Amino acid sequence: MADALPVTVEVGVIGAGAMGAGIAQIAAQAGHRVHLFDNRMGAADQAKLRIAETLAALAAKGKFTPEAAVAAAARIVPVHALGAFVSAGLVVEAIVEDADVKRKLLRELEVVVPPETILASNTSSLSITALAAGLKHPGRVVGMHFFNPAPVLPLVEVVSGLATDAATADVVYATAAAWGKKPVHATSTPGFIVNRCARPFYAEALALLTERAADAATIDAVLREAGAFRMGAFELMDLIGHDVNLAVTKSVWEAYFHDPRYRPSVLQQERVAAGYLGRKSGQGIYAYGADAEKPLPRTEPVQPRPARVAAAGAHPMTVGLRERLAGAGFAVAAGAPVGALASGHLDVDGALLVPSDGRTATAVALACGRPDVVVFDLAHDYGRCTRLAIAAADGCADAAVAAATGALQAAGIAVSRLDDVAGLVVMRTVAMLANEAADAATQGIANPRDIDTAMVNGVNYPRGPLAWADAIGVAHVAAVLENMAAHYGDGRYRTSPLVTRRCATGGRLAD
C-alpha cells in the first residue's frame, strides 16, 4: 500500500447520519470524490443537501471561497447500492453502534470491493479485532474514529486490531493528517484512548455528588474556573445524554471484567431509570425547560483581608498560590516549615492553607497537630483561575476559615467551600485522569504523546493528563492516589505501575 491515499482516490462513506455526513464533508473538502450510502431511502440525498448548505454557510463566513464550497459539495455522490464502492480506496462505515450489524456489513463489502480497499469503522468502542474476525482479508480492517462534530473536532483515533496490517493503519493515519485532522495510533481495547481515559472525569464528579461534598453546580464551576475544563462534568453528561454516558461506562466496565476503576454510578443509573437523560429530555442533572434557571455555584461571602501571609515549601501548587497572593499586594514572608506538610503550605493569620494531597483536611490536621487547617484545590493556572475549592478540618476555627477565604478573595478568587472530602475536585480528577492515562501507556494502548494529544484534541482538556501530572509532580500525584485509596479502601484508586516507576526514577510520565 502507498504511504498515504492521494486526493484522487475515491472514498466511500456508509451511513448518512451526523457522523457519516461529517466524514463525507471532510473527505470532499480534501478533494476526494465521495460516494455516500445509507440504506434509508433518500437519506444520502438529504445529507448531501445539508452538507451543501453547511459548506455555503462556511463560505459566507470566509472559511473558503463560494466556488470551493460548490466544488466540494459536487464531489459528494449519493449512491443506492454497495456495488458503487468497487473503485473506492477507502470505505468508512458510520452506521449503528452494533457489532453484529457492522460485521454483516463488512462481510457484504468484502464481496464487492477489491482486496486492497481499506475498510474503516468509525466505531467509538467496539473491538476492531472482533469486527475483522472471519473476514478473508482482516488486515485491511481498521478503526477510524472521528469525534462529533467530525468537521470541527480535530482528533481521529486510528485503531489497530490484532489482525490489522501496520501499513493499513499508516495509510489511514496519513490520510487523516492530509484531511487536516490530528490522528493518533491506538490498539483495539475497550474505549480506545479517549473513551477509556476520560472515564474518571465523570466518575469523580459523580462520586463527589454521591458523597454530598458539594452540589452539581459548584462542582462544575470548580472544574471550569479552577481546572480550566471547557465544561463541567455534569454539564457535559447532560449534553452527551446520561443514557449514552452510562452505556459507555458500563461497556468499558464489563469489558474489563468489572474492574472497580470503571464502576458505574448508582446515582447516574437512577437518573437514567427516571428518564432524566439531559438536554434531550429536558431534565438531567439540570433542568432545561423554557423557564428553567441554572443553579448558581456555592460561593463564600466576602471576608476581611488578612493581615499576614507566609509561605513555606516549593511545591508548584504552593508556589503558584503564593505568587497570586503576592500579585494581590500581600508581602508574603518566609514561613517555618511544618514537618508533616511535605508539600509546603501558606500561613494566613495562623491558619494553615495546605495544597490537597488526597487526604481530608481533618487527616492533615491530625498529622501535623494543628487544628486550623484549610486544604485548597489544584488549579490549572493559579495566576488566572477565578475560583478555588477549599475544605476545612473538623474543629477548624471559623476565624481561620475566614482568614484563608479572605486571602483568596483579596487575590480575585471566588471561594467554594466543600465538605471535608478527600482530594477535593480538580486534584482528584486530574490525578485519576493521569493514572488512567499512565495505565493506557503501560498497556501499550498508545504512546504517552498520543494519549495527551487525544485528550486535548478529542475532549478539549486544557492540558494532556500526563503532562499535567508532570507539572504537578509525579510523586505528588502518587501521594494523592495512595491517600485516596487508604481513605476509601477502594481498588479504583490503585496506582498505575508507570506512576510508581516514574516516582522511583524521577522520570516524566509524558516522555
CB 123 within 8 A of CB 148: no
CB 373 within 8 A of CB 343: no
CB 228 within 8 A of CB 425: no
Alpha-carbon Rg of the chain, whole angstroms?
26
Which 8-state DSSP code applies to residue 214? Answer: S
Cell of 212: 454530598
Query: 121, 124, 251, 356: which one is catalytic?
Result: 124
CB 23 within 8 A of CB 91: no
Which residue in this structure is represented by grid cell 498529622? 367
Query: 10, 93, 110, 157: which one is catalytic?
Result: 157
Rounded-to-integer distance, Cα 486 and Cα 476, Å: 15
Question: Please, how many CA atoms are within 13 Å of residue 261, restricted to the half-sphere of its CB?
Answer: 24
Rounded-to-integer distance, Cα 300 and Cα 450, Å: 40
- Residue 145 a catalytic site member: yes
Alpha-carbon distances of 135 from 107, 109, 284, rounded to whole Å: 7, 10, 42
Kind and range of the H or E element at 71? Answer: helix 66-74
Query: 32, 145, 380, 476: which one is catalytic?
Result: 145
**Bridge partners for 390 per DSSP:** 376, 417
Angle at CA of residue 169, ends 164 and 174, nearest 5°? 170
Rounded-to-integer distance, Cα 24 and Cα 127, Å: 23
Which residue in this structure is represented by grid cell 451511513? 15
Query: 127, 160, 195, 435: which one is catalytic?
Result: 195
DSSP string, 254-281: HHTTT-GGGPPPHHHHHHHHHT--BGGG
- Residue 157 a catalytic site member: yes
How far the first Cα of the chain sits from its last, in Å, is 31
Rounded-to-integer distance, Cα 489 and Cα 480, Å: 14
Cell of 23: 466524514
CB 48 within 8 A of CB 17: no
Rounded-to-integer distance, Cα 389 and Cα 426, Å: 9
Which 8-state DSSP code applies to residue 445? Answer: S
CB 255 within 8 A of CB 450: no
Alpha-carbon distances of 365 from 93, 191, 396, rounded to whole Å: 57, 40, 9
In three-state secondary structure terms, 93 is strand
Instruction: Give catalytic residue positions.
Output: 124, 145, 157, 195
